[in-house]
Chains A and B, each alone.
Chain A
Amino acid sequence: MSLQEAPAAEIIRQTAVDLGVKIKSGELSSVEVTRAHLDRIAEVDGELHAFLYVDGERALASAARIDAKIAAGETVGPLAGVPLALKDILTYTGAPTTCGSKILEGWLPPYNATVTRRLLDHDIVILGKTNLDEFAMGSSTENSAYGPTRNPWDFDRIPGGSGGGSAAAVAAFEAPLAIGTDTGGSIRQPAAVTGTVGVKPTYGGSSRFGLVALASSLDQPGPCARTVLDAALLHQVIAGHDPCDSTSIDQPVPDVVGAARSADITGMKVGVVREFAGEGYAPGVEQRFREAVDLLASLGAEIIEVSCPHFVYALPAYYLILPAECSSNLAKFDAMRFGLRVGDDGIASAEQVMAATREAGFGAEVKRRIIIGTYALSSGYYEAYYGQAQKVRTLISRDFDDAFSQVDVLVSPSTPITAFKIGEKVDDPLAMYMNDLCTIPSNLAGNASASFPVGLAPEDGLPVGLQVMAPPLADDRLYRVGAVLEATLESAWGGPLLDRLPEPGAAR
């Protein structure tokens, strides 16, 4: 990077909190900050491909408006003027919402998601829409109809999924903040493999209105960031009751910002999930996880090994419940009211046009899951598959109830392995599904969970994440653990983990 670019290079490496403070004090303008990030996107995103749509002009116009607001002495929130990357499964009027699918290519939504509206109400600058596995079905972004996102740590590897675009954008300093959505790990697993922070709020903690539904009983929007406090501030902005989402919780948002600032876990009981270790776990993942647990113990936590015997059945139950819900949710893509339509030659029937459109518009993984869902819900198989999976869901919730009667939080590796090579698992759906082994139970039970970076695996130099799970509406506990880990690890490392990130594409 040349010397005259240094100021922009300094801007993009700052935290959202610091940027917010400087924008408010006038030390930096939101326009300056927004432009620095847009320049960064222009510089690295050609290869990284974290964004599906960059909304540069509108972002700069919003930034100018926010600068004027601040100059006029208006009261603004802590993230006013700070840029953000929005996962392309949440609607934002004026920009296409594709969900990574050809069936919605170029679709301009007529309304804003509640999450989007809250971001705009809090004067956050939306830079654009980020890449994802089609309709959030995947763990690598390889299922995006618009091509995969790369991992900033190694461009030959996956950035996780489905929210690989949001995680990669944050890790590569294209944006200090991003929004993800987590159905089975789509915020936490990308956070883990990119060395960033990702939080899935309690189900119902943030609104699903305007989030194009994958599995309605599991989907949950949440924050992606480079630091724990940044994630907490974004969590605070997007969370809270929304009458437009009938499963939204009408209770105060837990004090996540206070928890992130307190960074105290003295006396906290931390349960280590016995079932999430051993065969299938990379040695470096297990090593960094163990070290982090030891660290928590040395900082005053009481470590207790906990068994959750039904967690091993979470993966099969999930791959019945999710396809069942998605096969009905995606029935709305029928070529009639929005999106793609093919084969409408004046002769073909609506049903034929529908079938031809869905064939042309959906990718392989979406078809696989719709067909599995159709099978699981069909008469004769319903009880053996979907019915049984719903019982497993009960057993998993009971495991959590038992565990949380003994401990305040549970911890495990966020994902069994570090980032794998692009293309390595595309033809093996079952191997791909294993990436979400540790993250799925929390979705099935609807509690709060997060992934925090705990170092690089010695064998491959790639990031490892530690997952924290807390009871419903105890989201603040995630931030207490995350903040303690972050402060202690960064002082041991001499700086953030992302300081060790190679300049994107440098190694190639």
Chain B
Amino acid sequence: MTDPQRLIEGELSAVERALLNSAASDAPSASQLEGAALALGLSPPLTGPWALLGGSSGAKIGAAVATLALVGAGMLHQTTASEPRAHSVVTVPGVVDPAESPPASTSAVVEIVEAPPAPPRPSERSGAKATRSGSLAAQVALIDEARSLLGAGDAKSALSSISRYRVTYPTGAFRQEAFLLELEALAASGQKTRAIALGRSFLERYPNSPHAERVGRVLGQAGRKSAP
């Protein structure tokens, strides 16, 4: 299987590129590395000129230095390694609190009808913050619930979750995902005509959506299955 090109190597918006690039420079500081090495009874990775020798060479030299140090000062290292380590262990299985579920609705929306969007301006920023505050996590929980139900083969319940999302968040941030999930749920439950109508509306409304390709695929499959 040929590996796909990484996102960062393809066409991206400036924001997407900035976000992906930002991860590359994230690394523990030299003092954090030293602390970790100490806690584990090891030597910190080499930095400075030694590091220029390359990862594997530097690592080999580091290991050799560490081994020599261990042999030369066996008792000291043995003692260090057997002492309680200076770290706090972070385990513990937990229970994730379920997100608060919005009220149920019995309506199912097929057509994409929305209030016209207004692009946010810097001067509106504080208002936008207030609107988003407290709702995004709940929105994501409901979208994820629909996705899980659909993944488990329960298209009917998935449609119910999507309907609740739409009623609770008529201008929600994840409307495209809601439509995509609805389209897939309709197709999965045999409602091909509605699925095709919704898919076409989606592509007209969001031709540049990240989901457009998948919508096209689902539409193609639904079209083939509904053909005589």
A binds B: no
- A residues at B contact (CB < 8 Å): none
